[in-house]
A and B are shown apart, each in its own frame.
Chain A
Amino acid sequence: MKLLEYQAKEFFARAGIPIPQEQLVFSAAEASTATREIGLPCVLKAQVGVGGRGKAGGVKLAHTMEEVESHADAILGMEIKGERVERLLCCHAVDIKQEFYASVTTDRANRTLILMVSPAGGIDIEEVARTTPEKILKIPIDPLLGLQAYQTRRAAMFLSDKGEIKKQIAAILTKLYEMYVANDLSLAEINPLVVTSDGKVTALDAKVIIDDNSLFRHPEFEGYRILSKDEALEQEAKGKGLSYIKLSGNVGCIVNGAGLAMATMDLIKRYGGEPANFLDVGGSSSPAKMIAAIDFVTRDRGVRAIFVNIFGGITRCDDIANGLLEATKNAPLPLPVVVRLTGTNEDEARKMLEGTSFIPAADMADGAKKAIEAAGEG
């Protein structure tokens, strides 16, 4: 679960990481009131989940109260990569002397935690990694030992040679790590971490991602979830035991297993079609799940045909067939549905679907071709 900047900064504030004076607002009038408290100049920042808001005009500096109102008006309601801006963060603009990068994250390849710092702050860290990798210091952290004091000193030395600044950086890195572990995060990032003209080290921006697997032990984070339209749909599907992601094609997919579901999408593309979605019905094969799956796929108005691709290992093909029949009992499907069922009880399943409008497929490739063809005709 990825937090918005203002939410991430609340985490920072609780952890004792310095942030500028700031307030979340929802209107230009609120922005004015907030600025009177915070003081000019101030930066107005669109609060959206997608990246690249700066380039899109979602971050603006205001020197006067008039500018605060006009900028707030311009940013609120604008669309950034399809996401409408509803929230605005008013931050006191600090005088920046230096910009750094700092993060704690999981290093998948080495199966460890990692502290990462760079003196090249304020730009995308992947860009730094590509062009000037020598400007990034990565320090592996043993998850059983935790972050050691010498590691924070080493990181601080990499960023600055001034005693007072180094001390502040080391303290911030310690708090960043403690916050990461206490909240089961998968990313805690400060970019930029700045030194102000009066010698204070402050986090100007914040990125926090919570490990979804840990949410069962953090019920307090549920309130942080702000969903875009697509995410709301994904979340609703999750509640029904389905893993669903909307794409833009016209061949709907219903598959058991995440790997097979991806391979099915790839196969549709390979044969010249466009998958409309990723959908994994998971291991169990209750009719209710099939009904919900068909409901999700057909809600997408762009879908012209559906490909049901099941490899029954634990999932029983007759259960799937039963679900398909149940789902179409009361309201016949307005779309062609191609069904490929292989594995446990496949013969029974095929018999159950004989004489119905479901289009049988011999294997995965055959099913993909038939579904693409049907989508083209529809």
Chain B
Amino acid sequence: MAIFVDENTRVLVQGITGRDGLFHACSMRDYGTNVAGGVTPGKSGQTVEGFAVFDSMHEAVSKTGANTSVVFVPERFAADAIIEAADAGIRLIVCISEGIPVLDMLRIVSYLQKKATKLIGPNSPGVISPGKSKVGILPGQIFRAGGVGVVSRSGTLTYEIVSHITAAGLGQSTCVGIGGDPVIGSNFLDVLRLFRSDPGTEAVVLVGEIGGSDEEEAARFISQELGKPAVAFIAGRTAPKGKRMGHAGAIISGSSGAAEEKVAALNAAGIPVASEPAEIASLLKERLHEA
């Protein structure tokens, strides 16, 4: 079992004729993901690298039966692309594009509440259920199938941590990069709820960072409702206040969003926090052993 993506995932790439869109369409197909084609307005009828190109999401969905989309279009078109996918009946949208205005994201999140569509991102590296499907830009070779669910606000830090988990002989059920923006479609809580009801997920790794209070919310949920062992890592213990650390959402505002607060909240909820990425695997093994 897995969450978000599996063998039944059929993907459309929004922005497939762009450099990144096409590169990752190929890389997803190489991984074994069922890529049904892509959309670039005005380029219907073309074929790129064997992928059918459509003018609109409505056309693409009706002709391919795709249920998932991945967004690679530039930031000024990305909000529109997400709404188009939702209106075309897509069930899961994974937005890789970064730099979408926060106000647009607030409106999108509010709009999607009325729909059955789920959104991961923006500014997400994607989601992968190893051996089944990869949607996004994650490097497939570092993952292996197993029972650890990973949810993270970051990209390469997730790869670093996953490589330690894999090297320790543990595999992953699904890894979700929720994105580094302040307002995102699926937050820690949304993903943890899915991990809770997924029989294929035995334990959870949460990778957080400075900014906002999602980690604190997650800590509460893990201790009260998750019912599975969990460990965490928090990046940004040395980050200065008031500076945006690369991710638009990674900023300590006033006294809120600091790493120490998040670590304290997780520890108070009985969740061990690794002091460096390499420590995650051994903490995980201890917790799985106890469980």
Contact = CB atoms under 8 A, between A and B. Distances in A.
Given A311-B159, A311-B160, A364 B278 contact: yes
A313 B159 contact: yes
Nearest to A187: B253
Interface stretch (B32-40, B46-54, B212-220): B212-220
Interface in B98-117: 99-103, 105-107, 109-111
Contacts, number: 169
A109 interface: yes
A268 B238 CA distance: 9
Contact of A109 (B107, B142, B212, B233): B212
B275 interface: yes
Given A217-B101, A266-B237, A266-B238, A259 B249 contact: no
Nearest to A274: B238
Given A143-B103, A259-B154, A363-B278, 12 more contacts: A108-B214, A109-B217, A111-B106, A143-B110, A257-B154, A257-B157, A259-B155, A259-B156, A259-B180, A265-B239, A266-B235, A342-B163
A270 interface: yes
Contacts of B152: 259
B272 interface: no
A263 B160 contact: yes
B156 A260 contact: yes
B276 A260 contact: no
B42 interface: no
Interface string B81-111: 0000000000000000001111101110111
Interface of A: 106, 108-109, 111-113, 126, 142-144, 181, 184, 186, 211-214, 216-217, 243, 245, 247, 255-263, 265-270, 275, 278, 280, 283, 311-315, 342-344, 363-365
Interface string B239-262: 110011111111000111001000
A216 B183 CA distance: 18
Contact of A259 (B157, B248, B259, B276): B157
Contacts of B250: 258, 262
A256 B250 CA distance: 16
Interface in B146-169: 152-160, 163
Nearest to B211: A108
Contacts of A216: 75-76, 99
B79 to A, nearest CB: 11
Given A126-B255, A259-B157, A259-B158, A108 B76 contact: no
Contacts of A268: 238
Given A109-B217, A111-B183, A143-B107, A314 B139 contact: yes
Contacts of B155: 257-260, 283, 313
26 contacts: A106-B182, A111-B105, A143-B106, A143-B110, A184-B102, A213-B99, A214-B101, A216-B75, A216-B76, A245-B240, A259-B153, A259-B155, A259-B158, A259-B207, A261-B246, A262-B157, A262-B235, A262-B245, A263-B233, A266-B235, A266-B237, A278-B246, A311-B156, A314-B139, A364-B277, A365-B276
A285 to B, nearest CB: 12
Contact of A211 (B103, B159, B180): B103
Contacts of A108: 182-183, 211-214, 249
B137 interface: yes
B138 interface: yes
B139 A313 contact: yes
